[in-house]
Amino acid sequence: MLPNVQTITPLTLTASTLVTANGRGLGPVLQALRERRSGLKPCDFEDVPLKTYIGRVEGLEDFSLGNELERFDCRNNRLAWLGLQQDGFMVAVAEAKQRYGAHRVAVVMGTSTSGILETEHAYQARDFAGSLPAWYTSRYRYTHNMFSLGHFVRACLGLRGPATVVSTACSSSAKVFATADRLLRAGLCDAAIVGGVDSLCLTTLYGFTALQLLSTSPCRPCDEDRDGLSLGEAAGFALLESSTCVSRWGAVALLGYGESTDGYHMSHPHPEGAGAIRAIRNALGRAGLQPRDIDYVNLHGTATRVNDAVEDKVVSGIFGRTTPCSSTKGWTGHTLGAAGITEALISVLCLKHGFLPGTLNCERIDPTLHSRILCDNDVRPVRRILSNIFGFGGNNCSLILGTLR
C-alpha cells in the first residue's frame, strides 16, 4: 500500500533543550545514556505509597515561579520553565524572534495532564461547604487548563504568533511537529517552538495502577519478564524552521511524520497494529524514504506486555529483522504527553553523537519478538531515525529525524 501523502521540505531543529529524571539539559541526558544510568527510583512522590519506580525530576518542589509568572506556578509549568532555561534555548528563540518578528513565531505544545496536580490539591483542600480554595480558582486558567502550558511558554518567550496545545495523551508532543509543519507550510508563521511537558500527578500514578500497567520494578522494555511501565516526567522544546531558510550541512531536521488512529479501543492497541503501520508508512512517505533508509527505530517500548508485542509485530513487519531498535523508557520512564519530544530529542543526540542506546533493563529479550532489539549501546554513524509514539484513544504518531546532507 502506497501512502497517500506528499513529501515535505525538512524542518531544521535550530535549537533544542530537554530535562528528564536523568538531568537538566541535553548534556546530562547524553551522559546518562552513554553511562547507561537510569533516572528511575522507588516512588517518593508526595505521599504516594505505591510500590513502583518513577522518573522524578529533582528540585521541582524547591522553587516557585515568581514575579509576573506567579499566576502560572504549578509543577507542570515549573518543569517547563526549567526546560526553557537549558541549552541556550532562550537565546536561540530571541534570535529567531528578531529574525522573523514575535508574531511570526508559533507555539505548539503537547501535554496530557497539564497542571492537574493543582486541581487534585484543591479538591483535598475543599472547605466544609465543598468549595474550592480561592488560590486555586483564580489560577485554574493558568495552571490546570489544557492551554496553560501554551500560554506559559508564549508568555515566557514573549511570542505573539499562533499558539495551541495538542492533547492526545501520549502522542501529544510528537503530533506538535505535524501541526507546526502545517502552520509553516500554510505561511502562518516562519518558525515554531514545538515541545511538550508532562509532570507527575496522582491521576496518572493511580490511573495506571487501576489499569494494572505499572511495574513494581524499573520498567524492562522488550524483556521476557517485563511487567509494566514506569512513569516519568519531562520537558522538551525545539525551535523549528524551514530547511530552505536555514539549511546547514550536518544540521538535524524533521524529515517526515505520520499521524493515525487505531479506531479500535481507548486503552488497548489494535491487535495487528493497523494504526501504527499507517503512522510509520505515512512518515516514510512524507520523508520520501524506504524502510531500508532508516538506521535505527526508537520504539515506543513502554514495557507493557501488549504494547511491546504489538509494536514488535509492526516494526519487524516493516523493517525486517536487521534494523536496530530500542526503547529508552528505562532511562526516563514513560513521560506520557512529553514522550514524543523526549524521544525525538534523544534521537537528535544519537544523530549528532553517532551512537545507539541499547534498551536499558532488558536482560533477556522476549524470544517471541522478531525485531533486532539492541540491549547494549552501539557506537556508529547514524543518519536517519524513526521514533514511534502510541497513546490512549489509539492515537499514533511516528517521526523521522535525520542529518541534512
Answer for which of 132, 365, 375, 404 binds another protein (CB under 8 A) is: 132
Using the rule CB under 8 A, is 131 a contact of another protein?
yes
Query: Of residues 88-107, which lie at the interface with another protein (CB under 8 A)?
Result: 103
Taken as a whole, the chain contains a residue count of: 405
SS3 235: strand
Q: What is the smallest separation between the CB atom of 359 and another protein, expressed in angstroms?
A: 27
d(CA 267, CA 3) in angstroms, rounded, equals 26
| Distance from chain centroid for Cα 280 | 17
Q: What is the DSSP letter of 167?
A: -
Is residue 300 among the annotated active site residues? yes
Question: What gap in Å lies between CA 388 and CA 400, rounded to an integer?
Answer: 9
CB of 97 to another protein, least distance (A): 14
Contact status: 75 vs another protein (CB under 8 A): no
Interface residue with another protein, options 146, 251, 374, 385 (CB under 8 A): 146
Residue 229 has φ and ψ, to the nearest 5°, of -100, 165
Give the active site residue among 219, 300, 362, 397. Answer: 300
Neighbours of 266 (CB within 10 A): 9
Q: What single-letter DSSP state applies at residue 87? A: T
3-state secondary structure of 118: helix
- In the complex, what is the shortest distance from the CB of residue 63 to another protein, in angstroms, rounded to a whole number? 24
Answer yes or no: are the C-beta atoms of 329 and 303 closer than 8 Å.
yes
Q: In terms of CB distance, is 276 or 346 closer to another protein? A: 276
- List the alpha helices (DSSP H) in 86-147: 89-100, 116-124, 134-137, 140-143
Shortest distance (Å) from residue 208 CB to another protein: 8
- Residues 3-42: x where in contact with another protein by CB under 8 A, - otherwise, as a string: --x-------------------------------------
Cα 183 to Cα 14, 150, 187: the distances in Å are: 17, 16, 6
Residue with Cβ nearer another protein (87 or 311) = 311
Cα angle 399-372-55, degrees, rounded to a multiple of 5: 60
Q: Does 119 bind another protein (CB under 8 A)?
A: yes
Q: Is 144 part of the annotated catalytic residue set?
A: no
Closer residue to another protein (CB): 96 or 356: 96
Could you say whether residue 231 binds another protein (CB under 8 A)?
Answer: no
C-alpha cell at 106: 508559533
179 to 173, 182, 191, 265: CA distances (angstroms): 10, 5, 12, 24
CA distance 17 to 5: 30
Residue pair 389/396 in contact by the 8 Å Cβ criterion: yes
Helix (H) or strand (E) holding 59: none
CB of 261 to another protein, least distance (A): 4
**Residue of 75, 78, 151, 329 interacting with another protein (CB under 8 A):** 151
Nearer to another protein, 183 or 401 (CB): 183
Smallest separation (angstroms) from another protein to the CB of 164? 5
Nearer to another protein, 172 or 361 (CB): 172
Contact set for another protein, span 179-208 (CB under 8 A): 179, 181-183, 185-186, 188, 202-203, 206-208
Using the rule CB under 8 A, which residue among 13, 15, 165, 234 binds another protein? 165
- 353 near another protein (CB under 8 A): no
DSSP β-bridge partners for residue 386 = 297, 400
**In this structure, are residues 174 and 397 in contact, taking their beta carbons and an 8 Å threshold?**
yes
How would you list the strands of the sheet with 231-232, edge to edge? 41-42, 53-55, 231-232
The least CB distance from residue 362 to another protein, in Å, is 27
Should residue 60 be labelled a site residue for another protein when binding is judged by CB under 8 A?
Answer: no
> Contact with another protein (CB under 8 A): which of 264, 288, 317, 378?
264
Active-site entry in 201, 334, 362, 397:
334
Q: C-beta of 200: minimal distance to another protein in Å? A: 13
**Is 170 noted as a catalytic residue in this protein?**
yes
How many residues line the site for another protein (CB under 8 A)? 68
**Can you spell out the DSSP letters for 185-201?**
HTTS-SEEEEEEEE---
Q: Which residues are known catalytic residues?
A: 170, 300, 334
- Interface residues with another protein (CB under 8 A) are 5, 103, 112, 116, 119-120, 122-124, 126, 130-132, 136-137, 140-141, 144-147, 150-151, 154, 160-169, 175, 178-179, 181-183, 185-186, 188, 202-203, 206-208, 210-212, 259-267, 274-275, 278, 391-395
